Amino acid sequence: MKNILVATDFSNNAYCALFYAAQLLKSEVCTFHILNTYNELTPLNGKSVPMLGRKKQLLALYKESEDRLTETSHKIVLDTGNPQHKFHIISVQGDLAKTIKKQLQQKDIDLLVMGNKGLTETADIFFGSNTIQVINAMTNCPILAIPREIDFKAPKEIAFVTDYKTGCHPNTIAPLLFVASLSKAAIRVIHINEQQHLSEQQESNRIHLKTCFESLEHSFHNVYEFEDKAKVIETFLDKMQIDLYAMVNRKKNLFERMTHEPVIKDVSMYSDVPFLVLPEKIGD
């Protein structure tokens, strides 16, 4: 991973996401592109905005965005002091998801990093609304969502949530294998399915995953009887002391259903464990 895009709204959560990514990739030579977007609805920091014209307001927002991005880049350099890392800033007027999609192509981004929640965080949703919009819009780049203001801990136990139906191609799980290799983490595969027996295709995918994970410590775990998938994951992450979990983002899968259901209520684990969203790739 050479190019990392980190979206920020200058909240503590967003900075913690940047710091986590920098620490996770501390052994890698890479460039971090720190992005902030703004529009007419963005409030000026700590200021009551008088009746400004649109041009003056946008100019003030741009200047504040640039200044705060510069402060952020200086702070992360001081906090990490890693000569292998470069930090570039990007200030853009416009929609966050559309801007990110454009930046992914222009900068050849390998990983997108976001905080789960930012300045407008709400306690009873799965992720911050910005994060959900971006995840739903991105189809070709892995996304690392970092919860709240957690301290960095090198992941030693990683969970991979799967139904074995799709998302098991080497190109899909390559980012997961890369992240696991950084700290020689073990991968714990959890299979959640309504059916007691695997289909021929599912069994083939399971065997293929086993082959892909053979260079790392790994294990397979099955859950067939359940009422709430979120609770199943919560229990598994807690029991296995998981440091990071991953899931493939494809339409009508477990991830999509979870982001459209109020599963976060009384499920504190989603605000404690980093989440790697893998784009589904069939092959090149």
Task: Give the mean pLDDT of 58-86.
Answer: 94
Q: Are residues 22 and 139 in the same domain?
A: yes
> Which amino acid is residue 103, in one-letter code?
Q
Judge if pTM exceeds 0.75: yes
Q: What is the pLDDT of residue 22?
A: 97
The pLDDT tens digits for 93-102 are: 988 888 998 9
Compare 5 and 114 and report the one with higher pLDDT: 5
Contact 158, 24 (CB under 8 A): no
Given a cut of 50, whether residue 279 has pLDDT beyond it is yes
Q: What is the pLDDT of residue 217?
A: 96
Task: Give the mean pLDDT of 224-236.
Answer: 77
Cα dist from 99 to 56, 106, 251, 253, whole Å: 22, 11, 22, 26
Contact 5, 112 (CB under 8 A): yes
Task: Give the mean pLDDT of 209-231.
Answer: 85
Q: Are residues 127 and 239 in the same domain?
A: no
The pLDDT tens digits for 159-183 are: 998 888 877 888 899 999 999 999 9
Looking up tokens 């996304």, which residue turns up?
143
> Which amino acid is residue 75, in one-letter code?
K
Q: What is the pLDDT of residue 223?
A: 82
Contact 220, 249 (CB under 8 A): no
Total Cβ atoms within 10 A of residue 64: 20
Looking up tokens 């700290």, which residue turns up?
183
Given a cut of 50, whether residue 121 has pLDDT beyond it is no
Per the structure, how many domains does the chain have?
2
Q: Are residues 53 and 130 in the same domain?
A: yes
CB-based contacts of 225: which residues, under 8 Å, 6+ apart? none
Task: Give the mean pLDDT of 258-264.
Answer: 43
Task: Give the mean pLDDT of 216-221.
Answer: 94
Whole-angstrom distance, CA of residue 89 vs CA of residue 200: 49
Q: Are residues 8 and 108 in the same domain?
A: yes
Residues of the chain with pLDDT > 90, as a percent, come to 45
Q: What is the pLDDT of residue 53?
A: 67
Q: Are residues 97 and 183 in the same domain?
A: no
For the domain that residue 207 is a member of, what is the CATH number? 3.40.50.620
Q: Are residues 215 and 130 in the same domain?
A: no
Given a cut of 50, whether residue 264 has pLDDT beyond it is no
Q: What is the pLDDT of residue 46?
A: 55
Whole-angstrom distance, CA of residue 97 vs CA of residue 136: 9
Q: Are residues 97 and 29 in the same domain?
A: yes
Given a cut of 70, whether residue 135 has pLDDT beyond it is no
Q: Are residues 54 and 136 in the same domain?
A: yes
Q: Are residues 46 and 125 in the same domain?
A: yes
Q: Are residues 92 and 61 in the same domain?
A: yes
Q: Is residue 247 part of a domain?
A: yes
Given a cut of 90, whether residue 68 has pLDDT beyond it is yes
Q: What is the pLDDT of residue 43?
A: 67
Backbone angle region of 104, left / alpha / beta, with phi > 0 → left and psi within -120 to 50 → alpha: alpha
Q: Are residues 113 and 206 in the same domain?
A: no
User: pLDDT-derived band of residue 127, with 50, 70 and 90 as boundaries?
Assistant: very low
**What order do you get walking across the sheet with 85-93 strand by strand?**
85-93, 30-38, 3-7, 111-115, 143-146, 275-279, 244-249, 157-162, 186-192, 218-223
Q: Which residues span the domain enclosing 204? A: 157-279
Question: Rounded to the nearest 5 degrees, what angle is found at the Cα of 100, between the Cα atoms of 96 and 101?
Answer: 120
Closest CA to 171 of 127, 118, 208, 222: 208
CB-based contacts of 239: which residues, under 8 Å, 6+ apart? none
**Tokens encoding 74:** 């200086």
Type and span of the H or E element at 277: strand 275-279
Closest CA to 247 of 261, 259, 235: 259
Helices assigned H by DSSP within the chain:
12-24, 54-80, 96-106, 129-137, 170-182, 200-212, 229-239, 254-259
Q: Is residue 37 part of a domain?
A: yes
Q: 45-54, 111-120, 176-185, 240-249: which range is least confident on average?
A: 45-54
Compare 229 and 13 and report the one with higher pLDDT: 13
Q: Is residue 166 part of a domain?
A: yes
Q: Is residue 151 part of a domain?
A: no
Task: Give the mean pLDDT of 65-82.
Answer: 96
